[in-house]
């Protein structure tokens, strides 16, 4: 059974060889890579929303080299402990699918039978995600209008993506788990020291959200060493700093042969409350 619903009428979508279709004859072609485009024109804020080709390539190349493997392994351990035998999971804002595929494969390796989907607003980045793992359903969609039924998910992951709390509450079943990954205080601190004259630490806070029980925060900290400009520039291009760094900072970064920097993540774990 497919997880996605029609973004126009909300009816279940059946997946054919070349397209998804609903009982009301709304049809959505599958790209050659295997993902569907479920973002109606009235939900788009630009002609090509989300990460562009250059950012998508940078993310794919950087993550594929294992620099954030520490985060992936921690997510896999936490999700294995939180999920049952046949969990239904969404990675909202899944990007190029590094965490999505890694989690799916870890669950399968542990003998679980996951049904898993990934959504992102960028068609460029979903091409990589859909190529990475064929056992996952992928679709271009907005986190603020997810093409999923009410209370259909056991677990939802949001890793560095927009926080669409109302939609997350809608699609999670009561008792379902929400994992929200954000940067820690010193994430990429040494990179920021190169880019900016007066860098600042990231704010860390624990924010309770309506409709959820705040279970815990899992810290993930480490250090990575980038051996050359290719990896340094890939990291730079996949961060928000790429769009707001002064020229002098970009020039300092381009002059480096290597970069050693802290990586720091916080996994906030919530559970959806049961109705009163």
What's the pLDDT score for residue 48? 47
What's the pLDDT score for residue 51? 60
HEC states along 107-138? HHHCCCCCEEEEEECCHHHHHHHHHHCCCCEE
**Residues 201, 214, 77, 165: is their CA dihedral positive or negative?**
negative
Task: Render pLDDT for 61-119 as a digit per residue (tens, 0 to 9).
Answer: 999 999 999 999 999 999 999 999 999 999 999 999 999 999 999 999 999 999 999 99
Indicate the pLDDT class of residue 260, thresholds 50, 70 and 90. very high
Q: The CATH number of 20-183+202-220 is which of 3.40.50.150, 3.30.465.10, 3.40.50.970, 3.40.50.1580?
A: 3.40.50.150
Percent of the chain with pLDDT over 90: 87
**Cross-strand bridge partners of residue 267:** 181, 218
**Largest Cα–Cα distance of the chain, in whole Å?**
59
Candidates 66, 67, 70, 135; CA nearest to 100 is 135
What's the mean per-residue pLDDT of the chain? Answer: 93
Please give the backbone phi and psi of residue 185, each rounded to the nearest 5 degrees, phi first. -55, -45
What's the pLDDT score for residue 46? 47
Using CA atoms, how far apart are residues 250 and 252, in angstroms rounded to an integer? 5
Please say if the pLDDT value at position 43 is more than 60. no
218 touches 70 (CB < 8 A)? no
Please say if the pLDDT value at position 231 is more than 80. yes
């Amino acid at each position: 059974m497919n997880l996605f619903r029609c973004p126009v009428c909300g009816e279940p979508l059946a997946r054919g060889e070349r397209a998804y279709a609903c009982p009301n004859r709304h049809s959505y072609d599958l790209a050659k890579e295997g993902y569907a485009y479920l973002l109606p024109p009235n939900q788009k804020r630009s002609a090509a929303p989300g990460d562009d080709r250059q950012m998508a390539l940078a993310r794919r190349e950087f993550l594929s080299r294992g620099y954030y493997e520490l985060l992936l392994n921690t997510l896999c351990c936490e999700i294995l402990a939180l999920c049952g035998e046949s969990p239904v999971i969404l990675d909202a804002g899944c990007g190029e699918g590094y965490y999505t595929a890694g989690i799916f494969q870890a669950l399968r390796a542990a003998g679980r039978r996951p049904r898993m989907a990934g959504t992102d607003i960028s068609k460029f980045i979903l091409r990589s995600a859909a190529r990475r793992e064929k056992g996952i359903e992928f679709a271009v969609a907005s986190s603020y209008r997810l093409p999923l039924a009410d209370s259909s998910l056991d677990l939802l992951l949001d890793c560095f993506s927009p926080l669409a709390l109302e939609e997350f509450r809608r699609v999670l079943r009561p008792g379902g788990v929400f994992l929200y990954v954000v940067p820690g205080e010193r994430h990429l601190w040494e990179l920021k020291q190169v880019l900016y004259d007066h860098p600042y630490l990231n704010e860390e806070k624990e924010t309770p959200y309506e409709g959820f029980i705040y279970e815990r925060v899992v810290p993930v900290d480490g250090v990575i060493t980038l051996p050359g400009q290719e990896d340094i520039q890939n990291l730079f291009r996949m961060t928000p700093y790429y769009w707001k760094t002064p020229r002098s900072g970009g020039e300092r970064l381009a002059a480096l042969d290597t970069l050693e920097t802290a990586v720091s993540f916080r996994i906030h774990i919530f559970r959806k409350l049961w109705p009163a």
